[in-house]
Amino acid sequence: MSLLANTATLLGKELRTEFRSRELLTTTVVFILVVLILFSFAISPTAVESREFGPGLLWLAILFAASLMLQPCFLREQVNDTLSSLRLAVSDPFAIFLAKLLANTLFLLVTEILMLPLFAAFYNIPVLPQLHYLLLVLFLGSLGVSIAGTALSAISAQARMRELLLPLLLLPLLTPVLVVSATVSVSLLDREPVVQWKGIGFLAIFDLVFLTAVWLFGEYLLEE
């Protein structure tokens, strides 16, 4: 119970910090927008191609954005040296991770939902008919990105060149999420949509594996 209560309090803190400045959300939204526009300049897709490649590009943009957005997650705590106080305040360090990764998932989802209409318009792909399934894939994918990303940002925050290091550590690790979410999204947004439950299940397994790993090793990640 104390884990949930601690997590809820910390999640509140993360959300308050972000919604006071809205720095992360604004920059991430603009970043995804820039990447999506640059992609369409780089390949100028036809209608068929954009159905085929669009979802993959969207996921790539999300992954790039996440690898930048997740940077400050532990760095913020370092600036005022608040991490040690956080560690003292909660009995289970997993609560710190859980709060941060839930906050990150939420931020990612908000940016994705804001981006979705623009993506649909730019790439001329109707997203509304399959919206509920698409949101499920976006949720499971973003959760996976956030779980792995939060853990790795705790690692990269303690190294030199951390801004460059996080994407280098994170992006290869997220290959399964990219492959599966992109493929599932492509078949969802096809002219004859198919829901790939196997892929959705796979994303859930990815989330579960990494959540368990963070639960097991989280306390070592925060060791001083």
Q: Which residues are at the interface with another protein (CB under 8 A)?
A: 148, 151-152, 155-156, 158-161, 165, 168-169, 172-173, 175-176, 179-180, 183, 198-199, 202, 205-206, 209-210, 213, 217, 220-221, 223
Q: Which residues contact 121 (CB under 8 A, 6 or more apart)?
A: none
Q: Determine the Cα–Cα distance for residues 131 and 142; give it in Å rounded to an integer.
A: 16
Q: Determine the Cα–Cα distance for residues 97 and 151; give it in Å rounded to an integer.
A: 8
Closer of 192 and 223 to another protein (Cβ): 223
Closest distance to another protein from the beta carbon of 26 (Å): 29
Closest distance to another protein from the beta carbon of 81 (Å): 16
Interhelix angle 131-156/197-221, rounded to 10 degrees, is 20
Run of H or E residues at 141: helix 131-156
Closer of 3 and 213 to another protein (Cβ): 213
As given in the structure block, the two tokens for residue 43 are 């390949």
Closer of 98 and 169 to another protein (Cβ): 169
Closest distance to another protein from the beta carbon of 77 (Å): 16
Closest distance to another protein from the beta carbon of 16 (Å): 29
Closest distance to another protein from the beta carbon of 124 (Å): 25
In a 3-state reduction of DSSP, which class is residue 33?
Answer: helix
Closer of 88 and 172 to another protein (Cβ): 172
Closer of 180 and 189 to another protein (Cβ): 180
Q: Which residues contact 214 (CB under 8 A, 6 or more apart)?
A: 94, 97, 101, 147, 150, 151, 221
